[in-house]
Structure 1
């Protein structure tokens, strides 16, 4: 009996976690992404670098809960980066990105954190 209760509790917990993810949509090209004061159109296709200055990917899409509010980006990782599987795009929250004065975009996360980012599938 205890096993059934435990199994039911675990199942209910797992389904709650699965539904906890926010549905993200593509943000309109004209929307200004406030942390960077640039439009979505200007940010898409920008290179993303690690803390050492190495290119690790490129912004594929700007994402948010609505078409008018950006909260994350989908980053297409460079093949052979060793951070994830070569064919995976990852969802990166905007607060993990830093735009330097020279226009270089950095991902402020270590390899362990990057491995925990959700996979983006369009």
Structure 2
């Protein structure tokens, strides 16, 4: 009986942890945080132009840098220019989908994948 109660309690605790992990919200990262390996601060990345990989067409610009906490960046919010991209509004896109190009960033992912990323809501 003791083992059954312990197993049931463990299952409840584990399922609660999984639910918390799924509901973890991203937060704005502080302007002074440096994004590695780019060696650029959040402040320098915000408002950067975002270009399409391959042809360099301007897709939009970075509106926010988001992270798991205020010091750990994991994603950028890109505000898309619907006239040139077909996308409107803002999407949350993981950092590893970008490469720096001077003061601009190149988005290195397909339109299909961009469509699958979550919309950003203030």
TM range (shorter): 0.7 to 0.9
1:38 equivalent in structure 2: 40
Which 4+ stretches in 1 moved above 6 angstroms? Answer: none
Q: Calculate the TM-score normalised by the size of structure 2.
A: 0.77
In the TM superposition, residue 80 of structure 1 has moved relative to its aligned partner by: 1.5
Which structure has greater helix proportion?
Answer: 2
- Larger radius of gyration, structure 1 or 2? 2
The structure-2 alpha-carbon separation of the partners of 1:117 and 1:60, relative to structure 1 and needing over 3 Å to count, comes to same
Checking the alignment, whether the CA contact within 8 Å between 2:27 and 2:68 is kept in structure 1 is yes
Q: CA RMSD in A?
A: 1.8
Name the SS for the 1:70 alignment partner: strand
Q: Structure 1: any 5+ residue segments left out of the alignment?
A: 1-15
1:91 has 2:92 as partner = yes
Within 5 Å, which residues of 2 pair with 1:1-122? 20-51=22-53, 52-84=55-87, 86=88, 88-100=89-101, 102-122=102-122
